[in-house]
Structure 1
Amino acid sequence: MAQCAVCGADVEKTSPEETDYRDEEFAVAQVEYEGVTYEFCSEEHRRAFEETPEEYA
């Protein structure tokens, strides 16, 4: 299981059932930074990361 890049909490992943992405799992929020995909437990933590990515990366 992935961990939130901001707080370290486990990141729940889900698969969108009604799309062509049924076989893939996605975090609630994620951002790509310098070629690495970071996952977050909430949109609030995604925004915090985007404001100061060097603090968390």
Structure 2
Amino acid sequence: MEKEAAELLERTAVLEAVRELEKSQRKNRRVKVFQNDKKLMENYNRICRSVQEGNS
């Protein structure tokens, strides 16, 4: 009985650890996407300014 309870507890702990890891990885991917979008917009704005200055 105690062995089964220990195995169940161990299995539950492992599943919780895996869930937390997956949650952390999803969050990191989301943050990276927003950082990439910000960098793209900065570059786009810089290119637009240089084009406008070149046409002036």
Larger-gyration structure (1/2): 2
Return the TM-score normalized by structure 1. Answer: 0.21
Return the TM-score normalized by structure 2. Answer: 0.21
Relative contact order, higher structure (CA 8 A, sep 6+): 1
By percentage of residues, which structure has more helix?
2
